[in-house]
Amino acid sequence: MSKTRRIISMLIGIFMIVAAVYLMMDPESGYAVIIFVLGVGLAAKGGRVLWNFFTLSLNSVGSTKLLYNGLLILDLGIFTSCLVNVPVIYLMIYLAGIYLFKGVIDILSANDARKLESPHFKVKLAQGLLNVLIAVLCLVFIRRQDIVVYIYGGGIIYNGIIRMVNAFSRTDMVFDDWTEESLEAAKEEK
């Protein structure tokens, strides 16, 4: 991860924590702000993925996956932005669904990391299981909006902290097509 990406990831993590505290302190107006920011953020990410598709990888192998991913994220962002005037109970079901989906993706990612014998798969697995737990708790306490706000806010704080920690953690590099020279060069860089 480049220094710029690390700084951006840190700023996003700090913003997530501040937004969660704001949501916990003022749940009535916090919903609208959180949903709007989440929607705009997802739409911007989808737009960036589509921009990368059309400028960098239009003719690359597997680029259609990038196109579909960008369209899906952009659509999800636009849809999320439109949920500002929806009743709170439906909004909490939607947000719990996002947490559940993110948790399942993290668990599947941890399984792939385990197959590649990465020592970091346990952290990713714990993160995925906690996201699934947050989604389940939100659905169990759906009638108690005050409890759901605190559960969801705690989940946002947790994910913000994880994002900030991941910004400074070392990442593993996987070489599919390596030679002895490339392996020795990688060892010399360490």
- Residue 55 covered by a domain: yes
Could you give the C-alpha distances from 77 to 81, 91, 119, 184, in angstroms and in order?
6, 14, 33, 44
178 falls within a domain:
no
Give the CA distances from residue 4 to residues 8, 14, 45, 167, 168, in Å, rounded to whole numbers and listed in that order: 6, 15, 16, 10, 12
pLDDT-based confidence at residue 76 (cuts at 50, 70, 90): confident
Average pLDDT estimate for 13-22: 88
pLDDT value of residue 20: 85
Q: Is 175 part of any domain?
A: no
Considering only CA atoms, which of 98, 88, 95 is closest in space to residue 146? Answer: 88
Burial readout 102-137 (b: 16 or more C-beta within 10 A, e: otherwise): bbeebbeebeebeeeebeebebbbebbebbbebbeb
Per the domain annotation, does 190 fall within a domain?
no
pLDDT at 79: 85
pLDDT(175) > 50 = no
Q: Is residue 70 part of a domain?
A: yes
Q: In this structure, is residue 187 part of a structural domain?
A: no
Q: Where residue 129 falls among pLDDT bands split at 50, 70, 90?
A: very high
- 173 found inside a domain: no
Residue 165 clears pLDDT 70, i.e. is over it? yes
Q: Report pLDDT for 188.
A: 65
Is 62 exposed, middle or buried, given 0-12, 13-18 or 19+ CB atoms closer than 10 A? exposed
Residue-wise pLDDT tens digits, 91-122: 778 878 888 888 898 898 888 888 888 777 88
Comparing 14-18, 114-118, 148-152, 155-159, which segment has the lowest mean pLDDT?
A: 148-152
Residue 180 domain-assigned (yes or no) = no
Q: How many domains does the chain have?
A: 1
Instruction: Please state whether the predicted TM-score (pTM) of the whole model is above 0.85.
Output: no
Determine the structural domain holding residue 71 and report its residue range. 3-167
The answer, yes or no, to whether residue 180 has pLDDT greater than 70, is no
Tokens of 143: 């009638």
Question: Which are the contacts of 90, defined by CB distance < 8 A and separation ≥ 6?
Answer: 83
